[in-house]
Structure 1
Amino acid sequence: MSGPYLYDEDPEALHTGTPRRRNGLVLGIFGGTVVVGVAAVLALPLVKGSGEEQAREVVGVFLAALDAGDTETAGGLLCQSERDRGEAEETAAAYAQPGTARIEDVTAGEVDGTDVREVLVRWDEGGTSTETTVTVVLENGPKVCGSTPAG
């Protein structure tokens, strides 16, 4: 088959110029990833709460569980060193004091190089009150890790 051809010679390459680099898209993706990462880090305390809020919450749940006689839940909120002392339910029950518990104050501290929160709890029964300091550590989430008489 012969006939008239559109070109006298072979067709030219369609892209004959120097290729342009499009770095904007790559930089935009990396920049967006960095922005999302920084935003996630900054938003984490808003979602989880501050160390003080977490300590108040875990001690509040712990005390409510003890008040309801739910030593299984209270035992689950103990740190590993407290669980290692014996049966978690029995260890948790040893924290209970007579009366109604109320969280008074939370202070930050350090024990053996570990960041802790010390939660002051007042137990009121009739006209008398007892104060204890409950130590909270961050161990796979905030955990109750000891109690001492306040003072």
Structure 2
Amino acid sequence: MSGPYLYDEGPEALHTGKPRTRNRFIIGMLGGTAAVAVAAVVALPLVKGSAEDQAREVVGVYLAALEAGDTETAGELLCEAERDRAEEEGLEAGERALEYVPSGTGEVVGVQPGELDGQDSQEVRVRWDDGAASTETTLTVVLEDGPRVCGSSPAG
């Protein structure tokens, strides 16, 4: 085309430079997201502790609550099935929690993995010392909205 132009030079193409790609930025974002996800998965057990540590801690709190006479806290640490059973029997959850206490002061002496109704659990051995004699029971801890005590049986 020829003709009178407003400027001295002819019309120029709007995009004359080499196009820039943003692939590095996108790949960097995806890689960073993946790295954060992996770090979160690795760090979670460090923050929350292993299943054994969680079971030991919840049983320790449970025993301390019972020793202090705080049946409300002890009842809240029971699993849903135990709270439902207590409700069916017309008991408060705290009263149900007292059924797991033989006598004396309880001390956690060991934890090992177990299974309860097809669900992974931790079997926490507790030694009860009343001054004259000591007995052992096993408290079952399941992961249900956090670790929860879900049953008791004589150790052995």
SS in structure 2 of the partner of residue 85 of structure 1: helix
* Whole-angstrom CA distance in 1 between matches of 2:77 and 2:8: 83
Cα displacement (A) at 1:95: 1.4
* Equivalence map 1:99-110=2 (5 Å): 99-110=104-115
Please name the residue that 2:72 is paired with: 72
The partner residue of 1:90 within 88, 95, 115 is 95
* Equivalence map 1:5-20=2 (5 Å): 7-10=8-11, 12-20=12-20
Runs of 4+ with deviation above 6 angstroms:
none
Letter in 2 for 1:94: E
* Whole-angstrom CA distance in 2 between matches of 1:7 and 1:38: 61
For structure 1, the 5+ residue unaligned runs are none
Cα displacement (A) at 1:17: 3.7
* Whole-angstrom CA distance in 1 between matches of 2:21 and 2:131: 79
SS in structure 1 of the partner of residue 69 of structure 2: coil
Cα displacement (A) at 1:22: 2.2
Aligned length: 147
* Whole-angstrom CA distance in 1 between matches of 2:45 and 2:104: 34
The CA RMSD measured in Å over matched residues stands at 1.5
SS in structure 2 of the partner of residue 140 of structure 1: coil
Q: Bigger CA drift: 109-118 or 54-63?
A: 109-118
SS in structure 1 of the partner of residue 129 of structure 2: strand
TM-score (norm. length: structure 2): 0.89
Q: Bigger CA drift: 110-119 or 135-144?
A: 110-119
* Whole-angstrom CA distance in 2 between matches of 1:27 and 1:113: 42
Identity of aligned residues (%): 64
